[in-house]
Amino acid sequence: MSNSVYDTYVSPLSTRYASAEMKFNFSDRKKFTTWRSLWTLLAQAEQELGLDITDQQLKELRDNVDNVNFAAAVEEEKLTRHDIMAHVHTYAACCPTAGPIIHLGATSCDIGDNADLIVLRDAFDILLPKLAGCVKTLGEFADEHKHLATLGFTHFQPAQLTTVGKRACLWLQDLILCEKNISRVRADLKFRGIKGTTGTQASFLQLFNGDYEKVRELDNRVTRLAGFPASYSVTGQTYPRIVDAEVVSSLSILGAAVHKMCTDLRLLAGMNEIGEPFEPTQIGSSAMAYKQNPMRSERVCSIARYLMNLVNNPLSTASVQWLERTLDDSANRRLCLSEAFLAADSIMLTLQNILEGLSVFPKVISRNIEKVLPFMATENIIIAMVKVGGDRQVCHEKIRVLSLEAASTVRLEGKDNDLLDRIVKDPYFAPILDQLPHLLDPSTFIGCAPDQVKYFLKEEVQPVVNKYISKIKSSATKLDI
């Protein structure tokens, strides 16, 4: 059989959807070089605290962090059935002087788990600026359209008017809440630290001849050298697996927020009020050549649905970690943690592309408003009649009868809403006919929506954008597929 990439399974997240930087973050190269960096930091801290480790050995370790023989590691793992020890052996092979002190006193999770936490931290640092970029672009869209009246919907039935910008702020509010949640989870991440086999640090206590303060300082030094402010005070063999559940949960919540937003965009695209980007050579349907399907929003919903369901994996894993640990977490975590971030990353990439190319169709929006605005204006008409001396109950009854007649015309005959014509023809309403243009002006039905947008963008959106402004990419996001 051929060795071509086309002859084996590859994940769509790595070939079609996620970014290069997120894929690298979960790559073998990143993982194994991080392991080597941690072995180096451990040796450095052990030397600083008095163990017999030479500067030459440390230099040899540092010089070979990137010198990974991947093929040799694969062969070693076939023999040892242990990934960490396979890489201890291959690292030692290119560090003949330092080989004897690699992994000194450590257990696998002193390296593997701490490396995982570094990868999770870095994944958050890749994802959060992309989320902020979507917030920024959507905020600009909301500001541009804060005065544009549009039909509001409850139960997907026409309701009071809102504005296109105000509706966008509903999406923004969800994204703001997601940023707050994800950034908190990122800030709460701690290092596992140097804890040993079952978390008791027994091997390190032996290395330092019973000096617990040195053991404690070793933990603190490696933690700081790895870029973490603190480690978990107590652990079993692993860091608390509930942390993984919290990490994936924060991403799953983002998936739900973006799924809701892109579902709204799909509905609005079906009403021809808003359209997502559509390339000149893009094909919407193999059969129906006229179609312009909202395929980007559909992609977001599809991947978001996958992301939302991933949270059950770390929840289950955390619930079955027997005593100090069990290994049935390992294979599941390899899949779940990486795919959660790759999925979230791909969603942010596609959403940014959608937001940068959103089109709004005001004439369609206006026509849709006109179909139902006469019904919405009835309360204004009643009030106007009362102000010129009319009886509220009499006016209400006349409006009720005319509205039912107009509704019947729309539903049974398929004609346009003619309630306004019926009102104009009824002599009872003659005293307010000159007020009708104002009473039917859509801008008088949107309440405080424009001001709500203005202050929301200023008070809640802009601070989030400012947090990441130096990391937000300004160029348009192009999707390869």
- The 3-class SS string of the chain reads CCCCHHHCCCCHHHHHHCCHHHHHHCCHHHHHHHHHHHHHHHHHHHHHCCCCCCHHHHHHHHHCCCCCCHHHHHHHHHHHCCHHHHHHHHHHHCCCCCHHHCCCCCCHHHHHHHHHHHHHHHHHHHHHHHHHHHHHHHHHHHHHCCCCEEEEEECCEEEEEEEHHHHHHHHHHHHHHHHHHHHHHHHHCCECCCCCCCCCCHHHHHHCCCCHHHHHHHHHHHHHHCCCCCECCCCCCCCCCHHHHHHHHHHHHHHHHHHHHHHHHHHHHHCCCEECCCCCCCCCCCCCCCCCCCHHHHHHHHHHHHHHHHCHHHHHHHHCCCCCCCHHHHHHHHHHHHHHHHHHHHHHHHHHHHHHCCEECHHHHHHHHHHHHHHHCHHHHHHHHHHCCCCHHHHHHHHHHHHHHHHHHHHHHCCCCCHHHHHHHCHHHHHHHHHHHHHCCHHHHCCCHHHHHHHHHHHHHHHHHHHHCCCCCCCCCCCCC
Structure tokens given for 236: 């079993």
Q: 225 pairs with which residues across the strands?
A: none
Q: Let me know: does 58 contact 27? Beta carbons within 8 Å.
A: no
Using pLDDT thresholds of 50, 70 and 90, give the confidence band for residue 475.
very low
Q: Let me know: does 349 contact 479? Beta carbons within 8 Å.
A: yes
124-133, 285-294, 332-341, 414-423: range with lowest mean pLDDT: 285-294
Q: Which residues contact 208 (CB under 8 A, 6 or more apart)?
A: 49, 50, 51, 214, 215, 218
Q: What is the pTM of this model?
A: 0.90
* pLDDT score of 291 more than 60: no
Q: What is the pLDDT of residues 197-213, one digit of tens each?
A: 999 999 999 999 999 99
Q: What is the pLDDT of residues 172-193, one digit of tens each?
A: 999 999 999 999 999 999 999 9
Using pLDDT thresholds of 50, 70 and 90, give the confidence band for residue 338.
very high
Active site residues: 155, 285
The pLDDT of residue 247: 98
Give the chain's mean pLDDT: 91
Q: 158 pairs with which residues across the strands?
A: 153
Q: Which residues contact 42 (CB under 8 A, 6 or more apart)?
A: 103, 104, 106, 110, 194, 222
Q: What is the pLDDT of residues 75-123, one digit of tens each?
A: 988 998 888 999 999 999 999 999 999 999 999 999 999 999 999 999 9
Q: Let me know: does 350 contact 299? Beta carbons within 8 Å.
A: yes
Rg of the chain on CA atoms, in Å: 31
Q: What CA–CA distance (Å, rounded) separates 133 from 347?
A: 12
Q: 162 pairs with which residues across the strands?
A: 150
Q: What is the pLDDT of residues 260-273, one digit of tens each?
A: 999 999 999 999 99
Q: What is the pLDDT of residues 140-155, one digit of tens each?
A: 999 999 999 999 999 9
The pLDDT of residue 280: 57
